[in-house]
Structure 1
Amino acid sequence: MTVPTADEPLILIADDVAANVELLSDQLKILGFRTVAATDGPGALAACFEHRPDLCLLDVSMPAGDLGVPDRQTGFEVCRRIKRDPRTARIPVIFVTALNDTADRVKAIESGGDDFLTKPHNRLVLGARVRSLLKLKGATDALEDSLRKLRELEKVRDDLMKMIVHDLKSPLTSVLATLEMVTDGDFGPVTDGQRGALADAQAKSQELLALIDDLLQIARIEEGAIHLEPQRVEPQAFFAEVLRDWHVRFESAGARASAEVAPDTPTFLADRKLLSRVIGNLLQNAIVHAADAVSVRLTARRDPEGVLISVADTGPGIPPEYHELIFRKFETVKLQAAPRVRGSGLGLAFCKLAVDAHGGRIWVQSAEGRGSQFHILLPLEPVPPARG
């Protein structure tokens, strides 16, 4: 006979017949398990919440007490309450009962039961069922524990990231201000060669500042701390503004850009600054990831759900298996056509969060070597998604 130790799994036996409790208890102890017993519905619930057993064996017909169900339904109600409470929801439940018709089995499943044994039961079958469910519970608990630790690590990483980002922004702003003063000649004459080097340093610093702003904005959106400032956006004028702002960058990269707005495209309400940064991130990606001079085309048209804005480029394209991955934080794709380009994995994550905040959708159509088309579908008025 195996003598259970304090480390062995604890099984709750709930049955109003003392002989049945004794039999199950003896069989389980022989198999190396510890047991605790209850003789009615309220007692079974109390024992479950007090002892947190690793598994429950429930009779269906027991005194219901104050549970508000007929005695013949007590086990089902106990199981429902066990599965409904977060503290006990993952405890496996096996019904051990003389009831054996299909309706009872259906009720056992509907109440959340994990298995069903008919009296009189076979000791070996009982042991096999118990061990199988305990292994499953152990695997589930381990997975839950891993997920909890992963979430804790992600929170630590995000908190550290936000702290570093805040500390970076102030000195970087000072660097940009100093570069501007030097370029303007405030510290003496600047040669053409020096002016070119300063312009390059300013451009890279602006990129770094934009990355920092993306990080801060992502954090605010994720925490629900961002408040949209909707403005009326007229697509033709909006595209003209974007192309004007990016004109110098397009020229320096040798890129070509154009815009086309369908005649019936409606105006819409959106946070103009957020939308400009979304389009800017897509343009930035198109330029950076192209080995040769790239062509970019902005289009807008009416859609049954609102307005569809597209940003198409002639760049290296994105393999289909990465189409969802690229919108996750810190996820990057190494393209054969641009092996030296390294991104932060934040630009497209910001785009998705910003579009989601409007109640819209963003997705990509692309294949490696065939360019990319990013589509942004926005409602005519922001409809922030409900938070679960």
Structure 2
Amino acid sequence: MGERRFQRGSRVERRRCGWIPCRYDTIPDRGRRRGVPSGPALMEIDILVAAALCAAGMLGFAMALVRTMRQLRETRRAEARLRDRERMLNDVIDHAPQGVASIAPDRRITNANPRLASMLSAPTATLIGATTDSFLPVEYVSRIFKSFEPAASASDTYEADCQARRADGSAFWIHLSITPIRQAGGTIDYFLATFEDVTAKREAEETAVANLAQLEKLNRLKSEFVSMVSHEFRTALVGIQGFSELIRDQDMEVREVKSVAGEINSDAQRLNRMITEMLDFDRLEAGKIHLDLKPLDMNELVQDAVERAAVTTDKHAVVAELQPGLPDVIGDSDRLLQVLANLLSNAIKYSPDGGEVCARTRLSGGSVEVVVSDHGRGIPPEFINRLFGRYERYEDKHAGKIIGTGLGLAITRQIVEMHGGRITVDSALGRGSEFRFTVPLAPAVGSVTTRSA
């Protein structure tokens, strides 16, 4: 019978060669290194060796070996758990939505996550080893670091919003949180800092505050407007009532009746204008005004408006200076007459001492420009920016009581802009005012169109 051959790596060969059998150990093939037992294999070796020592009468040594092996296993498990936790922590920091950095007491960055690099528009490699001076004020960071006393508790944290700089020099707002990491003796080892980009949040807050301030201003202006309009309405109604009672109760000559009737008519027209302005403004705000756009002769419109304004005053010379041969503009005649009437009426009201009120026309590029000027007391510079706002009305103490709703210029601006033009004002105290607005020229082929507000 031939010699019995053993399969390499078999349990039989392990016995013959003196290998301690273990579940994960094998005799390696030729040219390979022998595997090192671990885990359950190490546990089996532990038990078998202890059993062999006990059998040899070495009980104390066996127990010491078992304790040592168990401590070794626990140490390896603890190290494995620690490595897992470190990997998990690194993954959390690397994928955090906030920027995270460890900063040495000398303000040098010792580690930084990708989010911070993205936030600062700088590669991570350039951040590590650099100081915070490139994106945070030196005095600000130094003051924060010094505020942490060595004896303070480890839970101390500084939080605040501040401005930071990106690598390209642009500024943005961050929410900064800094916590000192201390050694066993209480001295600071390093600082753990988190950075959150709050630029959008701050801009939203600033916008909200501005909107709130604007709403409060509008609310105040509306209250003043209601009070003012109520007074104007009562004034006109008292005049109508008084003059009508005078006609009813007194025997008057025809001339006197005509004079009183004229006053009644004037008060009625004032009421009509105020009601019309309020309705027009409401419709303009709601987008319900429609323009009937047609080719128009701007000189004819200006001349018509000047003639109407001239009959309303005896103290002013209302004149027109028209550039001849102007091409037609495209516009709504009724609304443009309303614009001219508002501007001419204001020029007369704010020139209480009389003088010349002039309306001029001229060609300006692809538009016709209309200028309405007066020689009144003018408008102070601080009020000019508010002039075209809703419910705004400049009260000149030297001009006496100004009658109106404060909506005329707001309506005027909206009508001009609906035509595709623009309106501006040039004024100074003591030298009068000059209002300019433009209306686009009509297309080469005339057409009738409708434009909505």
State whether TM-score is above 0.5: yes
**Take 1:139 and 1:162, find their aligned partners in 2: how far apart are those partners?**
34
Report the TM-score when normalising by structure 1.
0.59
**Take 1:384 and 1:155, find their aligned partners in 2: how far apart are those partners?**
31
CA 352–100 in structure 1, closer or farther in 2 if over 3 Å, else same: same
Aligned residues of 1:57 and 1:96 also touching (Cα < 8 A):
no
Letter in 2 for 1:362: I
Match for residue 374 of structure 2?
Answer: 313
Q: How does 1:1-388 map to 2 (within 5 A)?
A: 18-20=88-90, 40=95, 56-57=98-99, 75=115, 98-100=124-126, 114=173, 124=191, 126=193, 142-150=205-213, 191=253, 192-251=255-314, 254-335=315-396, 337-338=398-399, 340-341=401-402, 343-381=404-442
CA 57–202 in structure 1, closer or farther in 2 if over 3 Å, else same: farther
Q: Secondary structure at the match of 1:246?
A: helix
**Runs of 5+ unmatched residues, structure 1:** 1-15, 22-36, 45-55, 60-72, 80-92
**Take 1:368 and 1:158, find their aligned partners in 2: how far apart are those partners?**
24
**Take 2:384 and 2:371, find their aligned partners in 1: how far apart are those partners?**
16
Deviation digits for residues 293-328 of structure 1, max 9, x if unmatched?
231111111110310111111111223333322111
Letter in 2 for 1:100: T
Aligned positions, number: 303
Q: Secondary structure at the match of 2:353?
A: coil
Q: Secondary structure at the match of 1:256?
A: strand
The Cα shift of 1:219 comes to 2.4
Report the TM-score when normalising by structure 2.
0.52
**Take 1:140 and 1:264, find their aligned partners in 2: how far apart are those partners?**
52
CA 359–190 in structure 1, closer or farther in 2 if over 3 Å, else same: farther
Letter in 1 for 2:376: G
**Take 1:302 and 1:75, find their aligned partners in 2: how far apart are those partners?**
59
Aligned residues of 1:94 and 1:115 also touching (Cα < 8 A):
no
Aligned residues of 1:260 and 1:300 also touching (Cα < 8 A):
yes
**Take 1:126 and 1:386, find their aligned partners in 2: how far apart are those partners?**
56
Deviation digits for residues 112-157 of structure 1, max 9, x if unmatched?
975599xxx9965837x66xx77x8886565344345456667878
Aligned residues of 2:351 and 2:374 also touching (Cα < 8 A):
no
Letter in 2 for 1:230: L
**Take 2:409 and 2:316, find their aligned partners in 1: how far apart are those partners?**
21
CA 352–107 in structure 1, closer or farther in 2 if over 3 Å, else same: same
Match for residue 32 of structure 1?
Answer: none
**Larger Cα-atom Rg:** 2
**Take 2:380 and 2:200, find their aligned partners in 1: how far apart are those partners?**
39
Aligned residues of 2:330 and 2:439 also touching (Cα < 8 A):
no
CA 214–39 in structure 1, closer or farther in 2 if over 3 Å, else same: same
Aligned residues of 2:99 and 2:115 also touching (Cα < 8 A):
no
Aligned residues of 1:221 and 1:357 also touching (Cα < 8 A):
no
The Cα shift of 1:201 comes to 3.4
CA 216–99 in structure 1, closer or farther in 2 if over 3 Å, else same: farther
Q: Secondary structure at the match of 1:100?
A: helix
Aligned residues of 2:361 and 2:371 also touching (Cα < 8 A):
yes
The Cα shift of 1:344 comes to 3.3
**Take 1:274 and 1:351, find their aligned partners in 2: how far apart are those partners?**
9
The Cα shift of 1:282 comes to 1.0
Q: Secondary structure at the match of 2:395?
A: coil
CA 262–204 in structure 1, closer or farther in 2 if over 3 Å, else same: same
Letter in 2 for 1:242: A
**Take 2:226 and 2:379, find their aligned partners in 1: how far apart are those partners?**
33
CA 187–19 in structure 1, closer or farther in 2 if over 3 Å, else same: same
CA 123–257 in structure 1, closer or farther in 2 if over 3 Å, else same: farther
**RMSD of aligned residue pairs (Cα, Å):** 5.3
Letter in 1 for 2:395: K
CA 187–74 in structure 1, closer or farther in 2 if over 3 Å, else same: farther
CA 385–161 in structure 1, closer or farther in 2 if over 3 Å, else same: farther
Aligned residues of 1:278 and 1:351 also touching (Cα < 8 A):
yes
CA 161–226 in structure 1, closer or farther in 2 if over 3 Å, else same: farther
Aligned residues of 1:257 and 1:295 also touching (Cα < 8 A):
yes
The Cα shift of 1:340 comes to 4.1
**Take 2:295 and 2:451, find their aligned partners in 1: how far apart are those partners?**
20
Letter in 2 for 1:364: V
Q: Secondary structure at the match of 2:259?
A: helix
